[in-house]
Structure 1
């Protein structure tokens, strides 16, 4: 995993709608991970929540698709680290949003109906709360990339 860029955006650019959430319903992880629907906040609540922020940081990661799960885990850990840094800088409500479903654990106990091992680290996925990533970046499916976001202030 390599960070290609971090770009600060005004949250007025963020579009939150039901479209990504409905797309989540076609994913194999739907209803299996705490970062995914129906466990993530619904898109209407998320739209209101995002509206209380002024800035966000969009992060583009280059990943090795041959090692997808580990690469995604590294991206998630990077986002959590950046969130903590921003918090220490006085951004009390900084909140990371994951690229897709949580995969902090190799073997997710939540999928088996057990308690999450890292409930204080799980964040909703960008899609799960209805953020239309395609309104913020040009999606090029020939690239091996993931996007994450941190709502800042």
Structure 2
């Protein structure tokens, strides 16, 4: 995993709608991970929540598709580390949003109806709460990339 860039974006540019959540329904992880619908906040609640921020960081990660799960896990950990750094700088309400479903654990107990091992580290997926990533960046489907967001202030 390689961080290609971090870009500050005005929160008002973030579009939140039901469209990404409906797309989630086609994903094999739908309902299986705590970062995914229906466990993530509803898109309407998320829209209101995003409206209380002024800025966010959009983070673009390059990933090796041959090692996708491992690379994605590194991206999630990077987002959590940046969230913690920003919190320590006084950004009280900073919060990371994951690119896709949580895969912090190799074997997710939540999938098997058990308690999450890392409930304080799981963050909602960008899509799960209805954020249209295409409102922030031109998607190039030939790239092997993931996008995460950190809501800052």
Q: TM-score, normalised by structure 1?
A: 1.00
**Matching of residues 82-101 of structure 1 within 5 Å:** 82-101=82-101
CA distance in 1, matches of 2:77, 2:106: 14
Superposed displacement of residue 135, structure 1: 1.1
Aligned match of 2:107: 107
Aligned match of 1:146: 146
Aligned match of 1:37: 37
CA distance in 1, matches of 2:91, 2:127: 24
CA distance in 2, matches of 1:14, 1:135: 6
2:82 partner SS: helix
| Matched positions, count | 153
| Stretches (4+) displaced over 6 A | none
Instruction: For residues 5-53 of structure 1, give each alpha carbon's deviation from its aligned partner in whole angstroms, at most 9, with x where no partner exists.
Output: 0000000000000000000000000000000000000000000000000
Superposition RMSD in Å:
0.3
1:117 partner SS: coil
Q: TM-score, normalised by structure 2?
A: 1.00
CA distance in 2, matches of 1:76, 1:32: 18
CA distance in 2, matches of 1:56, 1:133: 12
Structure 1 residue runs without a partner (length 5+): none
CA distance in 2, matches of 1:29, 1:136: 24
